[in-house]
């Protein structure tokens, strides 16, 4: 299978290039180096941004804003760390700021306290494709979606999430629990629907 010659050469060049030299060139604001850094990380980071938003266009807006911050703050990057992880943190923080300041999301980013049902410790006996699970997570209310992603996907502790979102640690825990309850219910319904569809086709 043939690849586009230009893209293939860029792909090889990125893997052969010394990251240290690439960062030095980016700090000197060399357009070619900045473009290579962007093209290498943009696809993965767009997925991160999309996880916190409700549309591709919003995710792309977060991505562009995030990379502006990346290039502005690049001198703060400590070379001993992983560049991809550092960029990912900037993208997550940019997404959170977008949710807080964008009128469409600000009113949806609700963390009202509500009574909780007991949380099941059982994992639903169903295997979902990563894409299907990600889509279910994106259908959660914005507050649930945000806390669930920060804790279950990014690995932040509830005390950290509370600080990032300006809420209490207890609220973060309850939002995560409620998100998990909804996901389990949806996954179980999805599983039943899939089984019925499969049997119906026999």
DSSP codes joined into one string, 15-84: HHS-HHHHHHHHHTT-HHHHHHHHHHHHHHHHHHHHHHSSSHHHHHHHHHHHHHHHHHHGGG--TTS-HH
Query: For all residues of the chain together, what is the average pLDDT?
Result: 80
- Residue 120: which pLDDT band, with cuts at 50, 70 and 90? very low
Q: Is the pLDDT of residue 18 over 50?
A: yes
The pLDDT, as a whole number, for residue 26 is: 93
The domain boundary, picked from 106, 121, 148, lies at 106
Q: What domain range includes position 13?
A: 5-106
Whether 10 and 96 share a structural domain = yes
List, as own/partner pairs, every contact residues 26-32 make where C-beta atoms lie below 8 angstroms and the sequence separation is at least 24, other chains included: 26/71, 26/74, 27/74, 27/75, 29/71
pLDDT digits (tens, 9 = 90+) for 148-180: 999 999 999 999 999 999 999 999 999 999 999
| pLDDT at res. 81 | 74
pLDDT class of 17 with cuts at 50, 70, 90: low
* Residue with more model confidence, 138 or 200: 138
Residues 99 and 140 in one domain: no
Per-residue pLDDT band for 142 (boundaries 50, 70, 90) equals very high
| Within a domain: 38 | yes
Do 12 and 97 have their domain in common? yes
Q: Kindly report the CATH number assigned to the domain that includes residue 52.
A: 1.10.1740.10
CATH at 163:
1.10.10.10
105 dihedral zone (left: phi>0; alpha: psi -120 to 50; beta): alpha
Last residue within a domain, chosen from 91, 106, 121: 106
Is residue 130 predicted with pLDDT exceeding 80? no
Mean pLDDT, residues 119-134 taken together: 53
Flag whether pLDDT at 199 surpasses 60. no
Checking if the pLDDT of 10 tops 50, the result is no
Shared domain for 148 and 184, answered yes or no, is yes
pTM for the predicted model, two decimal places: 0.75
Q: Which of 21-35, 51-65, 114-128 has the lowest mean pLDDT?
A: 114-128
Considering only 4-13, 77-86, 132-141, 173-182, which range has the smallest mean pLDDT? 4-13
Instruction: Find the range with the poorest average confidence among 24-38, 106-120, 146-160.
Output: 106-120
Our count of domains for the chain comes to 2
Domain-located, residue 112: no
- Domain shared by 143 and 186, yes or no: yes
- Looking at residue 124, what is its pLDDT? 37
**Cβ neighbours of residue 16 closer than 8 Å, sequence gap 6 or more:** none
């Amino acid at each position: 299978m043939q690849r586009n010659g230009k893209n293939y050469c860029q792909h090889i060049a990125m893997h052969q290039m010394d990251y240290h030299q690439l960062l030095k060139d980016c700090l000197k604001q060399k357009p070619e180096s900045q473009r290579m850094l962007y093209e290498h990380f943009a696809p993965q980071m767009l997925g991160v941004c999309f996880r916190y938003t409700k549309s591709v266009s919003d995710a792309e807006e977060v991505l562009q804003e995030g990379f502006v911050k990346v290039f502005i703050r690049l001198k703060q990057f400590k070379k001993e760390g992983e560049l991809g992880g550092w960029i990912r943190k900037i993208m997550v923080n940019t997404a959170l700021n977008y949710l807080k300041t964008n009128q469409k999301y600000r009113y949806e980013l609700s963390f009202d306290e509500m009574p909780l049902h007991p949380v099941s410790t059982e994992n639903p006996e169903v295997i979902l494709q990563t894409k299907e699970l990600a889509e279910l997570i994106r259908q959660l209310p914005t507050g649930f979606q945000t806390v669930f992603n920060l804790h279950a996907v990014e690995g932040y502790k509830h005390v950290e999430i509370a600080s990032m979102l300006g809420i209490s640690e207890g609220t973060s825990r309850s939002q995560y629990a409620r998100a998990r309850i909804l996901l389990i219910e949806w996954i179980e319904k999805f599983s039943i629907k899939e089984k019925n569809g499969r049997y119906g086709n026999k």
